[in-house]
């Protein structure tokens, strides 16, 4: 007696692979900044505030100043730097104001204060922080009776989609002084710089320069 075999099952449909970028694990930290890499729960015991805010300065050298240089001419090592600025969306608070990347730390997501910086930079610019260079400033104020403190860091960035992202940052390019619209590139930066890689989130910002 021949036992009938079950019909062959069709192969499962191919799965769609979503590339997930985790900017909180792709950077290096200068040794003197280790204090800011401790767990956020530990950090807040030393800094008991109601709201933690973070920010980042992202610089690029500008080898071709738009105005005639004052003699003697600057060498490439003394090129005038420019910093990335984002213009707030018309529908957001403080519409059309210019600011650097940053925002509130989220204890449910950010393991450390630096992880919050990396996340905010990635969400607002599409760039990945690859190196924390230094602490620039600490600001404090009160809002609605609550104490707010903001830590702003100097960072190097790279492309999160580049091969080996996180190992090194972009080399300096020329911002060109132009504005970039949402989803576009700002200035006339070279292919090696980050200027042409910025992608702003239109729900928060409308342009960058």
pTM over 0.85: no
The residue that leads in pLDDT, 78 or 90, is 90
Residue in 148, 166, 133, 171 with CA at minimum distance from that of residue 56 = 133
Q: Are 179 and 200 in contact (CB under 8 A)?
A: no
Host H or E run for residue 102: strand 102-104
Identify the pLDDT of residue 108. 92
Q: Residue range 64-84: average pLDDT?
A: 60
Domains and CATH numbers, the chain: 25-63+80-208 (3.90.79.10)
* DSSP structural state of residue 58: E
Q: Are 105 and 54 in contact (CB under 8 A)?
A: yes
Identify the pLDDT of residue 194. 78
Count of CB atoms situated within 10 Å of the CB of 57: 18
Q: Are 153 and 53 in contact (CB under 8 A)?
A: no
Q: Residue range 9-24: average pLDDT?
A: 44
How far is it, in rounded angstroms, from Cα 11 to Cα 17? 17
Identify the pLDDT of residue 160. 67
How far is it, in rounded angstroms, from Cα 174 to Cα 84? 12
Looking only at the bridges linking them, the beta strands covering 102-104 and 51-62 are: antiparallel
Identify the pLDDT of residue 178. 45
> Tens digits of per-residue pLDDT, 135-153?
999 999 998 889 999 999 9
């Amino acid at each position: 007696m021949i036992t009938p075999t079950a019909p062959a099952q069709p192969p499962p449909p191919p799965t769609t692979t979503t590339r997930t970028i985790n900017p909180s694990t792709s950077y290096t930290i200068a040794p003197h900044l280790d204090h800011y890499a401790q767990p956020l729960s530990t950090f807040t015991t030393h800094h008991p505030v109601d709201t933690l805010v973070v920010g980042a300065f992202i610089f690029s050298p500008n080898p071709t100043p738009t105005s005639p240089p004052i003699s003697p001419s600057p060498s490439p090592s003394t090129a005038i730097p420019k910093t990335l600025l984002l213009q707030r969306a018309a529908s957001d608070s403080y519409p059309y104001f210019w600011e650097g990347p940053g925002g509130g730390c989220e204890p449910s997501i950010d393991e450390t204060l630096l992880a919050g910086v990396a996340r905010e930079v990635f969400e607002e610019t599409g760039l990945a922080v690859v190196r924390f260079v230094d602490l620039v400033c600490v600001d404090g104020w009160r809002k609605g009776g609550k104490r707010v403190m903001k830590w702003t860091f100097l960072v190097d960035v790279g492309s999160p989609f580049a091969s080996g992202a996180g190992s090194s940052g972009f080399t300096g390019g020329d911002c060109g002084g132009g504005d970039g619209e949402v989803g576009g590139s700002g200035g006339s930066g070279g292919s090696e710089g980050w200027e042409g890689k910025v992608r702003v989130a239109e729900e928060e910002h409308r342009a960058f320069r």
